[in-house]
Structure 1
Amino acid sequence: MKKSVLGVGAFIAVAAVSCSKNEATDLVPVEAPEVAIVNVLAQNAVAQEDTLVFKVKAGKGSTYAWAVDGKDAAVTDSIFKFVTSDLGEHKITVTAALNGQKTSSQETINVYGKYKFGTFVLNEGNMTTENGSLTFISPKGVVTDSAYFKANGTQLGNVAQDLFIRNNKIYIISQNGNKNAVGTSFQNDGRLIVANAETLKKEAAFNDELSTLSWPTHVAVLNEQNVIIRDNNGLSKFNTTTKVLTFIKGSRSAAKMTMAVSNGKIFAAAGTKVFVVEADKDTISYALDMKASVSGVVKASDGNIWVSTTGAPSKISKINFRDYSLIKANEITTGSLSAGFGATPGITAKGDTLYFSGAGTKIYRHVFSLNTTEFMVDAKTMVENAGIVYNNIAVHPVTGEVYLNTMKGYGLNYLINNISVFNFSGDAALRANYKDYTNFPAGTFFTYSFN
């Protein structure tokens, strides 16, 4: 008697085969089809609405059925494209059938929020006609305009100014809250908005609780009980649980500039000084005198603090976050460290490399350890309609690419604008340019900077 083998696999089915009328029944193994899932992109995690591609590897002649979390996906092709908006863990299963035998293979995928990784550009908006908005650029370069509105159906506050991400929550501060400069009500979610950092779904909004603030411009967060807000009066501590706002004594000269957070402390520019604020304290902990006008305070990758100052000479200094001592200071004689008219730092850093532009189109690079400065590019030579730089450049903390926001001009010319991405790993190159997505951009923010 000869035995037939249908395929090679891990699962064995047993069938009875009769060799002749006179022989006893003999059991012949019939092997189930071998099956495996090939994760084409080799990713076990994916953002909402992004697509993963799976292929099935099975014996010739097999038929397939795909399922997600135990539910039939109504796909019988050898290729399955998985996309969902549902967060969390999902199980992708394919079942191959051949000659009445079935074998299944499974892969587990984690889906995270669409906005967990990427780049935000926060827009002030035209204060008399519109509220603030949020533009998002995914790691793949896909742009989502008005991201907050699309997630909630409601708008950010009037003249959005700054954002901060902490413990999977995004905090967005606006100057006017739900009113514009002349007191006309807007349909928006208020002065301070707290949303899920992955989905942008609103979790809380505060307006009347912050009514004593005078044109708030910046926010930095240590925890839910210590949300530090800068306004024309100085720095205040807001407890989002008790809704109590407390002025921080000694902080009245805090500058209209992004604050840095490192190791449980907030560092804020204040004229020639850098204020240090710690959790649960109603008075500034320290005032570091830089002896020159501070134009930028930025967290360094090692936890210490970069400080830029303008004057004769201008300097980039590195400050120890523990005792506030000077580690090293480099004089800058090429380019400008000015923060300009905006509200973002005059410097931006990735590792030991810092960039600055003086709020103009000419970008310079400074390598701190080598104390070298070089001119990189004038964006006007590569970017059409780069008439006005609106707030300063920002360097991506992972890729090292430099982002620049420009617009053609004021009036209706602000509608003609660019988010330009420069790669300086070799010759200066314009890696990407996203046109007409901003409305008076208050700053560029990378989710990776808040890890």
Structure 2
Amino acid sequence: MNKSLIAAGSLLTLMIASCSKDDVIEQPVATPEISISNISSESSVAQGDTLYFKAKASEGSTLSWSVDGTPASVTDSVFKFVSVKLGAHTIGVTASKSDKQSSAQTEVTVYGKYRNGTFILNEGNMTSENGSLTFISTKGVVTDSAYFKANGTFLGNVAQDLFINNNKMYIISQNGKTNAVGSGFENDGMLIVANAETLKKEAAYNEELTVLRWPTHVAVLNEQNIFLRDNNGIYRFNATTKVLTFIKGSRSAAKLTMAVSNNKVFVAAGTKVYVVEADKDTLTVAIDMKASVSGVVKASDGNVWVSTTTAPAKISKINYRDYSLIKANEISAGAVGAGFGATPGITAKGDTLYFSNATTRIFRHIFTSNSTEFMVDAKTMVEDAGIVYNNIAVHPVTGEVYLNTIKGYGLNYLVNNISVFNFSSGTKLSANYKNYTNFPAGIFFTDGFK
């Protein structure tokens, strides 16, 4: 009886102990938190350039990234995005923890590599090579032979001028498809149309332009109004109908860059400036400057700058509406000639103009105050700056002045410089790109066509 009581007591004690013990209740695992931030603070990027994204997730989470729904082999908190595919892309990141997941995403746009930057158009050595394009990105990265890299073919022989309109780049070459003697390199011809962002060729015109004699410049209002200058004068080419029409009265058109403003083309011609409008086969007007014109450049307010060299040399501003003279300043120092080249004797940002007469001596003219000052002789800062090949150009946004020089003729042209000067406070050589040009025909800023 005692043993039974003892056993029963032990059982009761065990049951009481079991009931008094705290029950373990398993808590549900929370869905991990996740967010994504753009470290680069840019929502768009050029082909081949990089954007960085950073994920912030709950502690202990495993991360996985994706682009447009396709998994990327990255598990770090920082994701490096690089793409050559144009258009919108979705960057996603997923945080996983104990079979729970949450995701975040953001959008980014990839645009063409060549949308923003500076082009140097190269004539090339006509006896051994065709034209080419050198591109300098806004970050200072140089792409040599950009057109060839985009297409696997060359520009025409002796490339002369380019123009950007409606996201298309138009490039004119003096000798067209006539290949450099002995080069063996096929080229795409006289007038080439390429995508302005990617440089992919969209069209090439040769047989349609056989009447042209040594064409040198191009200016575009639209696809039906592509204006070409050659030794005979100005022609209007319609890329839709393939019809080339001579502009009556334009035979004195000078071998200088044409300016486009407010759907009109302004052309240097001896002592005059011709004005040509869309769909017209005759000149609208010939503005008499009463002095030899060395440059015609669009002003930032839509009016037109004109430089004249006949003593006294002047820089004038012409009203684009009624072609009246707004103001003319006499130049007290330096010379506003175009030299032997085919680019304007002046270049402008706002009311600040620069000129060098195709020499290494750079001058600045402030139009509103009618003041001119010598800025620098590039030879004192740039090694082997022997010959200036075509005129200087000022960036329409940064205000930096670009200068192309070669060491000399013969094989010395292979030693060359693209020099960038900053005159915002004193004189500074902000960049110098060595040995990228081949007889540079001109400097072209994408911002100058916007």
Pick the TM interval, shorter chain: over 0.9
Matched, 1:292 2:291: yes
- Checking the alignment, whether the CA contact within 8 Å between 1:304 and 1:320 is kept in structure 2 is yes
Normalising by structure 2, what TM-score?
A: 0.93
Residues 408-417 or 23-32, more deviating: 23-32
Note the alpha carbon deviations across 1:272-323, whole angstroms, 9 max, x for none. Answer: 0000000000001000000000000000001000000002110000000000
Cα deviation, residue 242, structure 1: 1.1
Aligned to 2:111: 112
Aligned to 1:449: 448
Aligned to 2:13: none
Aligned residue identity for 2:318? I
Aligned to 1:134: 133
Aligned to 2:245: 246
| Long gaps (5+) in structure 2 | 1-18
Cα deviation, residue 24, structure 1: 11
> How many angstroms apart in 1 are the aligned matches of 2:86 and 2:236?
33
Aligned to 1:16: none
Aligned residue identity for 2:46? A
> How many angstroms apart in 2 are the aligned matches of 1:27 and 1:280?
81
> How many angstroms apart in 2 are the aligned matches of 1:41 and 1:184?
45
Cα deviation, residue 25, structure 1: 11
Residues 236-245 or 26-35, more deviating: 26-35
- Checking the alignment, whether the CA contact within 8 Å between 2:297 and 2:346 is kept in structure 1 is yes
Q: How does 1:21-420 map to 2 (within 5 A)?
A: 30-179=29-178, 187-420=186-419
Note the alpha carbon deviations across 1:129-183, whole angstroms, 9 max, x for none. Answer: 0000000000000000000000000000000000000000000000000115889
Aligned length: 432
Cα deviation, residue 324, structure 1: 0.3
Aligned to 1:3: none
Report the CA distance shift for 1:35/1:372 in structure 2 as closer, same or farther (over 3 A): same
> How many angstroms apart in 2 are the aligned matches of 1:277 and 1:364?
31
Cα deviation, residue 50, structure 1: 0.4
Identical positions, percent: 73
Q: Secondary structure, in 3 states, of the residue corresponding to 2:147?
A: helix
| Long gaps (5+) in structure 1 | 1-19
> How many angstroms apart in 1 are the aligned matches of 2:151 and 2:62?
43
Write 1 or 2 for the structure with the bigger share of helix: 2
Residues 78-87 or 91-100, more deviating: 91-100
Q: Secondary structure, in 3 states, of the residue corresponding to 2:442?
A: strand
Cα deviation, residue 264, structure 1: 0.5
Q: Secondary structure, in 3 states, of the residue corresponding to 1:31?
A: coil
Report the CA distance shift for 1:183/1:281 in structure 2 as closer, same or farther (over 3 A): farther
> How many angstroms apart in 1 are the aligned matches of 2:260 and 2:396?
15
> How many angstroms apart in 1 are the aligned matches of 2:353 and 2:128?
37
- Checking the alignment, whether the CA contact within 8 Å between 1:178 and 1:185 is kept in structure 2 is no
Normalising by structure 1, what TM-score?
A: 0.93
Report the CA distance shift for 1:230/1:89 in structure 2 as closer, same or farther (over 3 A): same
Cα deviation, residue 59, structure 1: 1.9
Report the CA distance shift for 1:437/1:181 in structure 2 as closer, same or farther (over 3 A): closer
> How many angstroms apart in 1 are the aligned matches of 2:171 and 2:66?
40
Report the CA distance shift for 1:231/1:184 in structure 2 as closer, same or farther (over 3 A): farther
Q: Secondary structure, in 3 states, of the residue corresponding to 2:343?
A: coil
Runs of 4+ residues deviating >4 angstroms: 20-29, 180-186
Aligned residue identity for 2:406? M
Cα deviation, residue 62, structure 1: 1.5
Q: Secondary structure, in 3 states, of the residue corresponding to 2:149?
A: helix
> How many angstroms apart in 1 are the aligned matches of 2:77 and 2:213?
61
- Checking the alignment, whether the CA contact within 8 Å between 2:36 and 2:56 is kept in structure 1 is yes
Residues 427-436 or 96-105, more deviating: 96-105
Q: What is the aligned-residue RMSD (CA, Å)?
A: 1.8
Note the alpha carbon deviations across 1:209-264, whole angstroms, 9 max, x for none. Answer: 11110000000000001100000000000011111110000000000000000000
